[in-house]
Amino acid sequence: MEPDLISNHQSTSELCKEGDIRMVVEEALSSLPYEGVEVTTPSGAKYQGKKFMKGGTCGVSIMRSGEAMETGLRDCCRSIRIGKILIQTDTETQEAKVFYAKFPADITNRKVLLLYPIMSSGNSVAMAIEVLKQHGVKVADVLLVSLFCTPFGLEHVTKEYPNLKILTTEIHPITPNHFGQKYFGTE
């Protein structure tokens, strides 16, 4: 029998989820516009580095499952501002309804990483984009960061928002719909 190598109560699947989230967040950050900058190290050496362009970046999580991606984003950018949108989909009509939205005051001047790990129908993402537009955000300044998307959801969202950039780890007709409950341990 193999010894249990995980000593902090996290299962292997939880560690994989964290790794996948971190990977997609890092890739999203690397796609943001940057400029060259000279950095002086503590030892006085000069280094040619990169910094994000003026205006900055913020994250916006579609609650509740999008909050699972906030840790990965904060691990990479500790002081990043994060907004939230609570959208619930009616189980009978499949219509999305906004219950709460709170964003950084200067969101119109920022690139927005829209955090939503599982996109099935695309209705919640489309509603979130509409709310961001109502707050002055241009669709071209939004990058949807996701772990799993269905072909149907991608088609729906890209047809409605052709300027939207999407970064995902997997496109598959069947998604793990209860990601948020499993991630937060509230099944």
Query: Maximum distance among all alpha carbons in the chain?
Result: 64
> 116: how many CB neighbours lie within 10 A of its CB?
26
Which of 8-17, 103-112, 146-155 is predicted with the least confidence, judged by mean pLDDT?
8-17
β-pairing, 142-145 with 118-119?
Answer: unpaired
Instruction: Tell me what the mean pLDDT of segment 8-37 comes to.
Output: 71
In the block, residue with structure tokens 């913020």: 58
Q: Which of 170, 89, 82, 93 is nearest to 125 (CA)?
A: 89
What pLDDT is attached to residue 42? 92
Q: Please tell me which residue, 13 or 160, carries the higher pLDDT value.
A: 160
What pLDDT is attached to residue 105? 93
Quick: pLDDT tens for 66-86: 888 998 899 888 888 999 999
Is 183's pLDDT higher than 80?
Answer: no
